[in-house]
Amino acid sequence: MKRRKFDAAALPAKSARAVDDRFQVATPLRKLLNKVFPDHWSFLLGEIALFSFIVLLLTGVFLTFFFEPAMTEVIYNGSYAPLRGTPMSAAYASSLDISFDVRGGLIMRQMHHWSALLFMAAIVVHMLRVFFTGAFRKPRETNWIIGSLLFWVGFLAGFTGYSLPDDGLSGTGLRIASAIILSIPVIGSWVSSSIFGGEFPGTIIISRFFIAHVLLVPGLLVALISVHLGLVFKQKHTQWPGPGRTNENVVGERMFPRYALKQGGFFMVVFGVIALMGGLFQINPIWLFGPYEAWVVSAASQPDWYVMFLDGSTRLMPGWEIHIPIGNGYVIPPLFWPTVVLPGILVGLSTMYPFLEARRLKDYKHHNLLQRPRDVPARTAVGAMALAFYIVLTLSGANDVIADKFHISLNAMTWGGRIGLLILPPIAYYITYRMCLGLQQHDREVLAHGVETGIIKRLPDGRFVEVHQPLTSAEGHDGHPPALDYVGWVVPKKMNRLGALGPAIRGFFYPIEKPAEAPVSPGHPPVEARPEREEIGSGESRR
Amino acid sequence: MSTHTEHQAQQGPEPLDVNDPRLSRFDIVQEGARRDDIEIVHYEPQVVPGSKAERRLTRTVALMFLLTGVFATAFLVVYIWWPWQWEPGTGGDKLYTPLLGVTLGLALLGIGFGILTWGKKLLPKEVSIQDRHDQADDPEGRKITGETMLYLADEMGVRRRPLLGISLLAGLAPVGAVAAAPLIGGLIEQPHKNNQMFTTGFQPAEGGKKIRLIREDGRPIRPADVSVGGQLTVFPGIDGGVSNLHADSPTLLIHLREDDAQKSRAANERKGHGDYMWGNYVAFSKICTHAGCPASLYEQQTNRLLCPCHQSQFLITDNAKPIFGPANRPLPQLPIEVDEEGFFVAKSDYTETIGPDFWERP
């Protein structure tokens, strides 16, 4: 019988045809491969959060194989000798086992914790980028709201996860959480006893936190992240202003291959950094804290960094209780304001901000071009104000450690925080506003007069003047070069930005190539506008 | 697709015939991009094929990938053969996790930087421009969809047959409640069962038998066990007294110096707690009235008790009144005495509510 000849080279084309016959994917796939993404280093901050989340899922699944979410009392009998014979909860014992009796368990635990910290940090920095560049404006308000929610859901994921080992430190955190819930007027004690299944700590909270931490909260995170990315994809990424870039186009690279390769490589780098951190830097050494006992705590008990601002607000709050003299009397404890009301206000303000700004500026247009922070002094100053507020609170969350290490009175630290919280944000607002105006003015100055060359010329009449290099060779009506318009992007301010020095010669020991010619434009490859379109101007669509 | 070709027809040149054999592959790619409203306006190889620079970059990328292999193998070797079980002291097992981290990290960084170099340095640079199409759909499209939805409502005929809508709502509302009921009903707990928020382990037993103060190891305490100026954490001498079952019961027993004891006694009398001390001994709840952490840092010289969580400070010689920080109410005092066998007992339970404040705390 004659064997059918097998043609390996034709196989891809053949199978592709077979797939397309059935699913009609050729055209949608082409669109995906071709999708254009604008590029800038600051657009990668959100990716760090995404990649950390993937590492969180991977390491987290590993940990569930060994963790036992139960508060049953057991006597520890594992490898870690100092705690042998200690009564503790099964949750704590299994966390110790992950650290000492599961091969490679400790690095997984530490990678999980580090990627959680990195996840939250990347979210915050990404949020700052989006805020300060105005990327949240119409049509992207929904994504801004989802992003702010992601911070709080991530916060919840972090807190529930961090409480699971049931060690001395996390138990104290749970104790504070129950006190926060108790402080809610009217329903506080009911909510607390419902969550803890009775009086604190009860025997069920770890199992409840476990299912929240491994199913409910991650499910919510996955859903929100999917919508977040889907909207970025649908609405297309914002871009910085620049030659050929308008509010109606996207200038960048097609997704495949270069952009996708860079993303994949960056994921591996983030993963690698987390692995290095998980291996080299100890995090949350629960075996040093001992099991949770309601009567044991040590100084310098700090939560994870993203919780510290709430710890700080709690520390700074004066002990003002509101007493309502009806019947036996009712109380609103001081704990209620910094831990329930403050986060509520923060959620409200941050989610509403895009609408507040649009309303104030009466600006309801689509905005796809980013703004440099200096060009919007009011917003930048508000952001600086918020940042100052947040930093004072976060530092106050560690004020006992600062007082101890720098030999400052603890009470002085608290008072410093209280006063700083009120006066530093307005100061930050004022200084930032002035800085923005100064930077704007300098941009205009360079555009009008050129770059300072550092060359001093003596005029025939004896005066000294500095020679300026104009940014254009055009001649204005009075013989001087005309003042250029500002288009919302970096103005070159140093001679080597104009190619005066030429780029450095590449190569470590010997030049690997002939020195390239000096670039003509500052940092951008020359971009010609599409020939068939006429309305392209670099900055007109910004207003 | 038809909308796009129409779009092209209005604006740009005729679409290319992709079956034209004279076209290069890049021409077809460019044509595909054009059909997606993308113009590749700048496309420039970064390295000349066959040049020294290209060979050098290729070697660099290959080296990174090979290093990944080396480090990944090293990871496996360490994982399998390095001593990993915890031993006392500073043995090699303490290096197990760091070595895993370094080998895994470098393996991943190798592949990461390899891919990045490949993408950033070896692939051609390009600038493409794509139309955003982010303006609202045309008014006609909106109108058609709007009318379609209104027609849907007409078809349902809710307006003509209001009974259907009302009865559907009336039927579905309880179904929503059914979904919520097991969740709320299963979770909800009465917080004041057995008066638990106002009592502790020191509540005298049924026969009125007073509860002893015991140490963490369960032994009862004689006055001589606490030296002057010293303090001891004590627990109710009941079943589970030294455990998280009675998380609100841990108490700090302090033996005051003579002059401090006088101050403390005077303060007690002012508050009507004249008989709460026994000799120079006082006992205060260790559970902070602010957020429930153990207020456990006792400064002997100033008689202040500091809670390490939020730095509330309580003055022991003045009924443990809060003198700094966020706490708003004094630590409750446990009335104590010594029984006929010479051990400390609680005269009664605490007379104030223990722990963090809540709405219905009197």
CA atoms B48, B51, B52, B56: torsion sign = positive
Q: Is any Cβ of chain B less than 8 angstroms from the Cβ of A80?
A: yes
d(CA A450, CA A434): 23
Cβ(A440)–Cβ(A371) under 8 Å? Answer: no
Q: Is any Cβ of chain A less than 8 angstroms from the Cβ of B15?
A: no
Q: Per-residue pLDDT for A543 more than 60?
A: no
Q: Per-residue pLDDT for A104 more than 80?
A: yes
Query: Is the bond preceding B236 in cis, omega lying within 30 degrees of 0?
Result: no
Angle value at C-alpha A252, between B58 and A256, nearest 5 degrees:
50
How many Å lie between the alpha carbon of B160 and the closest alpha carbon of chain A? 37
d(CA A430, CA B14): 58
CA atoms B249, B250, B254, B260: torsion sign = negative
| Alpha helices by DSSP H, chain B | 2-11, 25-35, 52-81, 96-117, 139-156, 162-187, 258-270
Q: Is any Cβ of chain A less than 8 angstroms from the Cβ of B5?
A: no
Q: Is any Cβ of chain B less than 8 angstroms from the Cβ of A326?
A: no
**Segment A175-191, tens digit of pLDDT:** 999 999 999 999 999 99
Residues of B in contact with A410 (CB under 8 A): 311
Q: Per-residue pLDDT for A1 more than 70?
A: no
Q: Per-residue pLDDT for A125 more than 60?
A: yes
% residues pLDDT > 70 (chain B): 96
Pick the residue of B3, B61, B130, B352 with the most A CBs within 10 A to test the interface with A by mutation.
Answer: B130
What is the mean pLDDT of the segment spanning A59-86? 95
% residues pLDDT > 90 (chain B): 74
Q: Is any Cβ of chain A less than 8 angstroms from the Cβ of B220?
A: no
Residues of B in contact with A261 (CB under 8 A): 115-116, 118-119, 123
**Segment A242-255, tens digit of pLDDT:** 888 999 999 999 99
Residues of A in contact with B293 (CB under 8 A): 172, 175-176, 297, 301
Tokens (6 digits) for A298: 């040590």
Q: Per-residue pLDDT for A211 more than 90?
A: yes
Q: How many C-beta atoms surround the C-beta of residue B259 within 10 A?
A: 10
Of all residues in chain B, the one with the smallest CA distance to A30 is B32
Helices A377-396, A105-132: crossing angle, 10 deg rounding: 150
**Segment B108-163, tens digit of pLDDT:** 999 999 999 999 999 999 999 999 887 777 888 899 999 999 999 888 887 888 89
What is the model's pLDDT at position B261? 94
Q: Per-residue pLDDT for A166 more than 50?
A: yes
Q: How many C-beta atoms surround the C-beta of residue A513 within 10 A?
A: 14
Q: Which residues of B110-135 are buried (b: 16+ CB within 10 A; e: fewer)?
A: bbbbbbbbbbbbbbeebbbbbbbeee
Q: Is any Cβ of chain B less than 8 angstroms from the Cβ of A317?
A: yes
How many Å lie between the alpha carbon of B84 and the closest alpha carbon of chain A? 7
Select from A261, A317, A527 the Cβ nearest to the Cβ of B115.
A261
Cβ(B78)–Cβ(A227) under 8 Å? Answer: no
Of all residues in chain A, the one with the smallest CA distance to B102 is A276
Q: Is any Cβ of chain A less than 8 angstroms from the Cβ of B53?
A: yes
The reply to whether residue A192 touches residue B99, judged by beta carbons under 8 angstroms, is no
Backbone torsions φ then ψ of B299, nearest 5 degrees: -100, 105
Q: Spell out the residues 6+ positions from residue A324 whose beta carbon is closer than 8 angstroms to its own.
A: A330, A331, A332
Q: Residue B12: which pLDDT band, with cuts at 50, 70 and 90? A: low
How many Å lie between the alpha carbon of B328 and the closest alpha carbon of chain A? 4
Residues of A in contact with B89 (CB under 8 A): none
Residues of A in contact with B197 (CB under 8 A): 189, 199
Q: Is any Cβ of chain A less than 8 angstroms from the Cβ of B146?
A: no
Of all residues in chain A, the one with the smallest CA distance to B247 is A294
The reply to whether residue A268 touches residue B360, judged by beta carbons under 8 angstroms, is no
What is the model's pLDDT at position B343? 95
**Segment A417-469, tens digit of pLDDT:** 999 999 999 999 999 999 999 999 999 999 988 898 888 999 999 999 998 88
Helices A308-316, A342-361: crossing angle, 10 deg rounding: 100
Residues of A in contact with B185 (CB under 8 A): none
**Segment B234-252, tens digit of pLDDT:** 999 999 999 999 999 999 9
Q: Is any Cβ of chain B less than 8 angstroms from the Cβ of A163?
A: no
Which B-chain residues 108-127 have CB contacts (< 8 A) with chain A?
108-120, 123-127
Q: Quick one: which of B217, B218, B209 has its CA closest to B237?
A: B218
Q: Is any Cβ of chain B less than 8 angstroms from the Cβ of A534?
A: no
pTM score over 0.95 = no
Which B-chain residues 196-215 have CB contacts (< 8 A) with chain A?
196-197
- Report the range of poorest mean pLDDT among A2-11, A87-96, B210-219, B222-231: A2-11
What are the counts of helices (DSSP H) followed by strands (DSSP E) for chain A? 18, 8
Residues of B in contact with A297 (CB under 8 A): 293-294, 296, 308-309
Tokens (6 digits) for B209: 């038998």
Residues of B in contact with A418 (CB under 8 A): none
Select from B248, B296, B359 the Cβ nearest to the Cβ of A186.
B359
Q: Is any Cβ of chain A less than 8 angstroms from the Cβ of B185?
A: no
Residues of B in contact with A179 (CB under 8 A): 290-292, 355-356
How many Å lie between the alpha carbon of A443 and the closest alpha carbon of chain B? 27
What is the model's pLDDT at position B4? 43
What is the model's pLDDT at position A522? 47
The reply to whether residue A244 touches residue B116, judged by beta carbons under 8 angstroms, is no
Mean pLDDT of chain B: 90
Tell which wins on pLDDT, A508 or A112: A112
Q: Is any Cβ of chain A less than 8 angstroms from the Cβ of B39?
A: yes
**Segment A46-63, tens digit of pLDDT:** 999 999 999 999 999 999
Select from B52, B113, B294 the Cβ nearest to the Cβ of A265.
B113
Residues of A in contact with B41 (CB under 8 A): 244, 527-530
How many Å lie between the alpha carbon of A470 and the closest alpha carbon of chain B? 28
Pairing outcome for strands A249-254 and A87-89: unpaired
How many Å lie between the alpha carbon of A283 and the closest alpha carbon of chain B? 12
Pick the residue of B244, B306, B315 with the most A CBs within 10 A to test the interface with A by mutation.
Answer: B244
In the 8-state DSSP scheme, what is residue B231?
Answer: E
The reply to whether residue B294 touches residue A332, judged by beta carbons under 8 angstroms, is no
Mean pLDDT of chain A: 90
Q: Is any Cβ of chain A less than 8 angstroms from the Cβ of B240?
A: no
Q: Is any Cβ of chain A less than 8 angstroms from the Cβ of B105?
A: yes
Question: What amino acid occupies position A314?
Answer: T
**Segment B192-212, tens digit of pLDDT:** 988 899 999 999 988 888 999
% residues pLDDT > 90 (chain A): 78
